[in-house]
Structure 1
Amino acid sequence: MKSLEASYELNLSKINFLERKVKITHPKTILYGPSNVGKTYLIYDYLSHFKISEYIYIDFNDSRNNYEDIKNNLDEFLRKNQIKVLVLENFDFSFEIPYCDNIIISSDIKKRLKGFKNLTINPLDFEEYILHDQRHQNITISFNNFLKYGNLPEIINLEEHKKVHRLQEIIKLQSKNTTEYEILNILIENIDEKKSLFQLFNALKMKIKVSKDIFYETAKKLQENNTIYFLQKYNQEKAVKKIYCYNHSFLNAITHNKKFKNEFTNMIFLELNSKFKELYYLDNIDFYIKSLNQAVVCIPFFNSILMGSILKKIIKTAKDNEINEVNIITISNNENIKDPNIKINILPFYEWALS
């Protein structure tokens, strides 16, 4: 029982936790989400309400832990030590879970169990990021870092010269082999692009040896664990989907090719995706929020005079779809454009995201 004894001795009470908009509130909860979004720290926060002797924390990604030892002895160990909280981190549901009053599971497998609440964990939104960014009191500096280095909690207080390297490590750790890594890479390289999986598969097979089945299986897995998103065109299910990633800064971490607009738009997608279930794209409009009948267009450096023709296309699409409000999100511009039928706002990202 060495693995269980070592796990039982872990003292997690001294770990600092910063508040998130989501918390574990149910005694039996399955946490689900992509890598490094903060699932573990939510578990630490939950455990802080219990005595050290009342919980056992088992991480199946810890190579020191013996799987068979845990599987065969866990039930007896829980009863013997009168444990109130069982935590199974990075669990694959490959053995039956014994009884315990409180059971908290983290996994990258979507699983529904009777009596359990499923809780999806997303990376930090901009409001949460500002609360976590305790080194900077200036919103402009916080925004610049958020845009450049992304939305993962652990990156915020890392020394700047280590941030890109750590982002690269996180990408690699999500892949079991070189093929999976290359598939994830080509998807990240195409964020905010309208590309079919067939197009990307054909592009990748020119670079590496990969089967169509493996490519599609891996893409499906990445979609299911919220690493990659495929955004549908409104009312056109068969149209090519747009690709987004759970961390917009991964693009900058894997290539020197600058795609600033793509990263900026991915960042805005994540803010919207965490708040709205029905999100689509339209021609000339990046995001259509059906429930609000609103459109969001991402133009980092907007100039109403220089972009008159683009604005006309946006307004026409909005009118054709009976959209009553358009928000154009920029880096720093702030103005209103008058139109007799549609409310048009030009807002800097930080003002829009915090409103």
Structure 2
Amino acid sequence: MRTLEACYEINFSKVNFMERKTKITESKTLISGAFKTGKSYLIYDFLSTFKPKDYLYIDFSDLRNDASEVSKNLEKFIKMNEITVLVLENFDFDFELPTCENIIISTKTPINLKGFKNIIISALDFEEYLLHDNRHQNITQSFNSFLKFGNIPELINYEDHKKINRLQEIIELQCKNETQYEIFKILIENIDEKKSLFQLFNTLKSKIKISKDKFYETCKIYENNKSIYFLQKYNQEKSVKKIYCYNHSFLNAISHVKKFKNEFSNMIFLELVHKYKDIYYLDSIDFYIKSKNIAIIPIPFFNRFLMNNALKKIIKNANEFEINEINIITISNNEKISDPKLKINIIPFYEWALS
């Protein structure tokens, strides 16, 4: 029982965890989400309300922990030590769950487990980022850092000159092999683009040896664990989907090619996906929230006179779908445009994200 005894000695009472909007509230909870989004710290927060003698924390990604030894002795160990909270991190469900009052499981991909509440945790939204950012003195500096280096919680405390290297490491660590890395990389390179998986597969197979089945299967894994999102065109399931990633700054970490509009749009998508389930795109509208009848348009540097023709197309598209409000999200512009049918707001990102 060496593994269980070692795990039982772990004490989280002195761990500084980051307060999140999401919390564990049910005694049986399954947590999933993309890599480095803060699943473990959510568990540390939960464990901080218990005495160390009451919980057993086992991380199956820790090479020192013997899974076969755990499966044989776990039930007996829980009874012997009167453990009331069992945590299984990075659990693959390769043995039956024991009886315990509280069981918290973290896994890469969400599954439906009878009696368990599912929590899918995302990286920080902008409001959470501000709560944890003690390095910058004003909202403008925080916004610039958030835009450039993204939403991964641990990066807040990194020195700026080390952040790109750490982002690259995070991308590589979640890929099991070179093939997975190349697939993830091509998806990141195409954020905020309308690209079919077939197009991406054809591009990739000219660079590496890969089967179509393996490509599609890996894309599905990334979609299921919320590393990659595929945004559908409204009422057109067969249309090409737009691609987004769980951290908008990954693109900046893998390429010297600047796609500022794509990163900015991805950042806005991530704020929306936290709040709405019915997000789509339209011909001239990046994000359409059907339940609210709202259109969201990312235009980092909005100039009303230079963009007059584009604005006419947006308004025409909005009227076709009886949208009643358009929010154009910018870096710093703030104004209103009068229209007989529509409410049109030009809003800076930081104001919109915190509203």
Deviations 1:212-263 (A, max 9, x none): 0100000001000000000000011110000000000011011111000000
* 3-state DSSP of counterpart to 1:204: helix
The amino acid that maps onto 1:96 is E
Tell me whether 163-172 or 259-268 shows the greater mean CA deviation: 163-172
User: Which residue of the partner structure matches residue 329 of structure 1?
Assistant: 329
Deviations 1:14-70 (A, max 9, x none): 011221111001011000111111110010000001111111110011011111111
* 3-state DSSP of counterpart to 1:119: strand
Quote how far apart the aligned CAs of 1:81 are.
0.9
- Size of the aligned set, in residue pairs, is 355
User: Which residue of the partner structure matches residue 318 of structure 1?
Assistant: 318
User: Which residue of the partner structure matches residue 20 of structure 1?
Assistant: 20
Structure 1, unaligned runs of 5 or more: none
Instruction: Give 4+ residue runs of structure 1 displaced > 3 Å after superposition.
Output: none
The amino acid that maps onto 2:103 is I
Deviations 1:49-105 (A, max 9, x none): 111111111001101111111111111111111111100000111110101111000
Quote how far apart the aligned CAs of 1:111 are.
1.4
User: Which residue of the partner structure matches residue 217 of structure 2?
Assistant: 217
User: Which residue of the partner structure matches residue 187 of structure 2?
Assistant: 187
The question of whether the paired residues in 1 share the 8 Å contact of 2:32 and 2:120 is answered with yes
For 1:240-279, list aligned pairs within 5 A: 240-279=240-279
Q: What TM-score, normalized by structure 2, do the two folds share?
A: 0.99
Quote how far apart the aligned CAs of 1:161 are.
1.3
Tell whether 2:296 aligns with 1:296: yes
The amino acid that maps onto 1:94 is D
Separation in 2 of the partners of 1:139 and 1:299? 20
Quote how far apart the aligned CAs of 1:109 are.
2.4
Separation in 1 of the partners of 2:15 and 2:110? 28
The question of whether the paired residues in 2 share the 8 Å contact of 1:92 and 1:109 is answered with no
Tell me whether 35-44 or 107-116 shows the greater mean CA deviation: 107-116
For 1:98-113, list aligned pairs within 5 A: 98-113=98-113
The question of whether the paired residues in 1 share the 8 Å contact of 2:130 and 2:142 is answered with yes
* 3-state DSSP of counterpart to 1:296: strand
* 3-state DSSP of counterpart to 1:285: coil
The amino acid that maps onto 1:6 is A
User: Which residue of the partner structure matches residue 132 of structure 2?
Assistant: 132
Quote the RMSD (CA, aligned, Å). Answer: 0.7
The amino acid that maps onto 1:322 is E
The amino acid that maps onto 1:327 is N
Quote how far apart the aligned CAs of 1:114 are.
1.5
* 3-state DSSP of counterpart to 1:24: coil
Separation in 1 of the partners of 2:161 and 2:80? 48
Separation in 1 of the partners of 2:51 and 2:277? 38
For 1:147-186, list aligned pairs within 5 A: 147-186=147-186
Separation in 1 of the partners of 2:344 and 2:69? 62
Structure 2, unaligned runs of 5 or more: none
Separation in 1 of the partners of 2:112 and 2:214? 25
Separation in 2 of the partners of 1:274 and 1:137? 26
Separation in 2 of the partners of 1:75 and 1:166? 39
User: Which residue of the partner structure matches residue 237 of structure 1?
Assistant: 237
User: Which residue of the partner structure matches residue 49 of structure 2?
Assistant: 49
User: Which residue of the partner structure matches residue 38 of structure 1?
Assistant: 38
Deviations 1:153-172 (A, max 9, x none): 10011111111111111111
For 1:280-295, list aligned pairs within 5 A: 280-295=280-295
The question of whether the paired residues in 2 share the 8 Å contact of 1:227 and 1:245 is answered with yes
Quote how far apart the aligned CAs of 1:320 are.
0.9
Quote how far apart the aligned CAs of 1:137 are.
3.0
User: Which residue of the partner structure matches residue 64 of structure 1?
Assistant: 64
User: Which residue of the partner structure matches residue 119 of structure 1?
Assistant: 119
* 3-state DSSP of counterpart to 2:99: coil
